[in-house]
Structure 1
Amino acid sequence: MNRRQSWRHRLTVPQFTVVTGLLVITFGTLLLASPLCSSDEVGLWEALFTVTSAITVTGLSIIDVGADLTFPGQVALAGLILTGGLGLMAITTFLQGFVQGRSGLRQRLDKGRALDEFGVGGIGPTLNQILLIAGIVIGIGTLTLYNFGFTDIPDRGQRLWASLFHCISAYNNAGFGLWRDSLVGYRSQPVVNGVIGLLIVMGGIGWRVTNDIWVNRFRLARLRRLSLHTRLVIRTTLILIVLGAVGLLFTEHFATEGMVEQLSLWDKLQVTIFQSITTRTAGFNTVPLTMETISDSGLLLMIILMFIGASPGGTGGGIKTTTFAALVAATRSTLRGHDEVVVRNREIPAKVILKAVGVTLGSGLFILLMALLLGLGNTTAGTPGIEAFSFLEKLFTCVSAFGTVGLDVGVTTQLNRWGQLVLMVGMFVGRIGILLLLSAVYGSRPQNRVGFPREELYI
């Protein structure tokens, strides 16, 4: 017993995060596979894949959520999405306080680093803020969709649940929907496009940015009162949305039988803006996504957007917008011959740039490893008429899984269990974070205080 307690006390926050995530996935799998929550079409494997996708707020699915899950199953899935989106890391640290039985300054600082600057004040106030903001935003979105969005659903109970479920999924950047074709039926509905898109953005920018804007709501005329993090996240997010929409409009305009070729100008704008928003984080789609309906250039652009992803503290994945902005700023400083990286008259510490490089390189190598593993042998499920997937299809699916996006071009359901296992591991690693996972594997090591002589290296 003493040895067991000693082992629990030696767990670092990253290790405890991984263990807790696996335990939640195990419990959720058993729950979702039960007759109360699903039909006979959902076995343990299908439940495991779906729960992993929900906890990692990805949205990739090998079942029809609306048809294969009962109402209690859909409620359980929504709860798993909330757990993964809002509380996986926060709840993990909260539980660790009970398990370890101590919470000194050193431990709180350790928790703050693992939770990306939650700080030394404890997890309680932060968790309360996260839940409060999420509750208000999801509630307003649900009422709007109920009254002005899903008006084609005659049954009020079904309309209310559809509105609530999709708002939970959108705010947590999960991408799960109650209909097999996602939101294709609401392609021309501006309220649905606007509410879902706005919820995705608000969930993706993170509670820290939302809270900063709310605290300074009466002084927004002077943007300098906002933190550099908030300004950089908002600016980068808007730029990526605009560039993504313009890029998709450009690539698909010249594509034969592309996804926007037959649409009116207004519908084209709605589709490209919505797809630019959802591609980075959420995984909803208002047009069918297949190799026949989207060009290779469009797929490559979407891969780049998925790789960048959401923002720190948000409910999305990817390398994060601030990481991308830091790399762009470092590249600009290098080209100008500057020794310091300066953004908005603020110098960015060298350790932040090194972390950005590490996250980007580590994420890129892991995605290539996933694509390599998918290329081992025949990864299709043996369905007649299904040919081997191209490398672009596999790369798109791997980036979608690692970036916890959930967009699919028809690959996921056709993979065998080996291919789906690769995606599950990718989803889990992408949600935990590559650096946090490496910290869990290697543990915390004291920094080497020995200095070494410097020598130039030709780059």
Structure 2
Amino acid sequence: MSSAAAAPLVRTALPGWHRNLTVPQFTVITGLLVILLGTALLATPLCSSSSVGLWEALFTATSALTVTGLSIIDIGRDLTGVGQLVLAVLILIGGLGLMAITTFLQGFVQRGASLRRRLDRGRTLDEFGVGGIGRTFRGIALTAALVILAGAGLLYAFGLTDIDDGRERLWAALFHSISAYNNAGFSLWSDSLVSYRSNGVVNLVIMALILLGGLGWRVTNDLWIHRSRPRLRRLSLHTRLVLRTSAVLVLVGALGLLLTEHLSPGGVISGYGWLERFQTVLFQSVTARTAGFSTIPLSLEQLSDSGLLLIMALMFVGASPGGTGGGIKTTTLAALMAATRSTLRGQEDVVIRDRRIDDKVVLRAVAITLSSLLFVLLMALLLELEPAQSSGGGASLADVSFLEMLFTCISAFATVGLDVGVTAGLSRLGQSVLLVGMFVGRLGILLLLSAFWETLRAGRPPRHNRIGYPREDLYV
């Protein structure tokens, strides 16, 4: 058959294929295509040195799109200026635009789709907490641009003053502002921000960018609308819950790290003054909320086991819905805590601040937490099967503890990027586990499971369960 004769058949078959894609399926496909494009660009000589092959480019592109920050290359040394620019664009796409781009593309290729399908697309988009296109996305982009530029300006003028070259300082300020606001954790320096541990401006600006990016569009928009003091009481329950939970987690994390590392003999902060100690633990508590920057070396030799365990808990919770970070989200934790409190009080409904929470929300919180925990444990199990030698010239993995393996898995799944020296020493099979974990963690495990389930049921008629089942007690 000639190509001219085959073209009408392709055009006839293609619409039936893409019109039936759901939001989860379309999101997965879009994410994979962006990763492949980023890989192809980063692997070129224009973007990287000869030490960066296709695998290194793939891992870096995935880490950037999922705004994780785990890396098996030295960003400042192995990537050229163009490569660093490509990396920054991937971070922006992953932090702000992936869901919006997905929705735009789906709306473009599914023109003529039924009203029910378009409503389902909008409902699913809102459910995964990223925002839509049009006016909403313009608001998201404008807010991000203003915050990133303000952060870069502060870093350039008052923070990174040790960099003499003006262009180098400007790019460093802009790159780290983009990375911080999108909770990516990528740095142009191999030691992250360790050399700026005592720099108050750098610490405060980076922490502010991380927190603003992690709050989510709904919260920042609500705060802007009700920015006058008399209107603070009119904030939505979601906004108040996110702010309160985030503040509690940051303070508990900072005080907990201060306690564990103060009691730990020869700890990493033992030689600091009290002001520098609190600044250091506060930064680590904030950055553990899926940002990935570090002002202290992270290892079992530097931090106590209890300190690492506390950071793991903060990483697992992560940021807030619609934010640029990962994790199970602050509202998920709040819903679970409220359900526990209602159970202890003997209440039939879950109540938060005199508002009854729908049972579907609580069930979703349980599903997210349980599936995330099982997935992280599966990742750790697979990493434990790694051969006891390094594949990348690093230290032998025979001495890597299970705590370090679990720390790395949570860091990848929650898209944090904090590393205790395990990632670069893994074989490609082990790094593949982290790569999949980053992708699943960023898009959301329920979204991925939904896409997988809908793919398995492709071509089958939808199930409408109208059967009511009798109730029976289950003792737990």
TM-score under structure 2 normalisation? 0.94
Q: What amino acid sits opposite 1:65 in the alignment?
A: I
Matched, 1:394 2:405: yes
Q: What amino acid sits opposite 1:324 in the alignment?
A: L
Note the alpha carbon deviations across 1:234-271, whole angstroms, 9 max, x for none.
00000000000000001111112212111111110110
- Give the one of 159, 163, 166 matched to 1:153: 163
Change (3 A) 1:361 1:131: same
Matched, 1:454 2:471: yes
SS at match of 2:322: coil
Matches within 5 A, 1:11-90: 11-90=21-100
- Report the Cα offset of residue 134 of structure 1: 0.1
SS at match of 1:36: coil
Q: Which residue of 1 is the match for residue 301 of structure 2? A: 292
- Give the one of 346, 351, 356 matched to 2:355: 346
The whole-number CA distance in structure 1 between the counterparts of 2:394 and 2:322 is 44
Change (3 A) 1:427 1:118: closer
Q: Which residue of 2 is the match for residue 318 of structure 1? A: 327
- Give the one of 154, 175, 182 matched to 2:192: 182
Note the alpha carbon deviations across 1:175-209, whole angstroms, 9 max, x for none.
00000000001101111000100000000011110
The whole-number CA distance in structure 2 between the counterparts of 1:303 and 1:387 is 20
Q: Which residue of 2 is the match for residue 262 of structure 1? A: 271
Change (3 A) 1:124 1:102: farther
The whole-number CA distance in structure 2 between the counterparts of 1:281 and 1:341 is 28
Matches within 5 A, 1:352-367: 352-367=361-376
Q: What amino acid sits opposite 2:416 in the alignment?
A: V
- Report the Cα offset of residue 217 of structure 1: 1.0
- Report the Cα offset of residue 224 of structure 1: 2.6
The whole-number CA distance in structure 2 between the counterparts of 1:60 and 1:302 is 16
The whole-number CA distance in structure 1 between the counterparts of 2:275 and 2:381 is 41
Indicate if the aligned counterparts of 1:252 and 1:294 stay in contact, CA closer than 8 A.
yes
**For the pair shown, which has the larger CA radius of gyration, 1 or 2?**
2
Matches within 5 A, 1:208-287: 208-218=218-228, 220-287=229-296
Matched, 1:422 2:433: yes
The whole-number CA distance in structure 1 between the counterparts of 2:448 and 2:394 is 39
The whole-number CA distance in structure 2 between the counterparts of 1:58 and 1:367 is 15
- Give the one of 302, 309, 313 matched to 1:304: 313
Structure 2: gaps of 5 or more residues: 1-9
Q: Which residue of 1 is the match for residue 447 of structure 2? A: 436
Matches within 5 A, 1:368-407: 368-378=377-387, 380-382=389-391, 383=393, 386-388=396-398, 389-407=400-418
The whole-number CA distance in structure 2 between the counterparts of 1:454 and 1:438 is 28
Note the alpha carbon deviations across 1:287-343, whole angstroms, 9 max, x for none.
111110011001111110000000000000000000000000000000111111110
Q: What amino acid sits opposite 2:292 in the alignment?
A: G
Q: What amino acid sits opposite 2:65 in the alignment?
A: I
Percent identical pairs in the alignment equals 65
The whole-number CA distance in structure 1 between the counterparts of 2:429 and 2:182 is 28
- Report the Cα offset of residue 385 of structure 1: 5.0
Structure 1: gaps of 5 or more residues: none
SS at match of 1:202: helix
Q: What amino acid sits opposite 1:163 in the alignment?
A: A
The whole-number CA distance in structure 2 between the counterparts of 1:238 and 1:446 is 43
Note the alpha carbon deviations across 1:35-79, whole angstroms, 9 max, x for none.
000001110000000000000000000000000000000000000
Change (3 A) 1:450 1:400: same
SS at match of 2:298: coil
Matches within 5 A, 1:120-131: 123-131=133-141
Give the alignment's Cα RMSD to 1 decimal. Answer: 1.5
The whole-number CA distance in structure 1 between the counterparts of 2:307 and 2:123 is 37
The whole-number CA distance in structure 2 between the counterparts of 1:447 and 1:29 is 42
- Report the Cα offset of residue 384 of structure 1: 7.1
Indicate if the aligned counterparts of 2:35 and 2:58 stay in contact, CA closer than 8 A.
yes
Note the alpha carbon deviations across 1:158-186, whole angstroms, 9 max, x for none.
11100000000000000000000000011
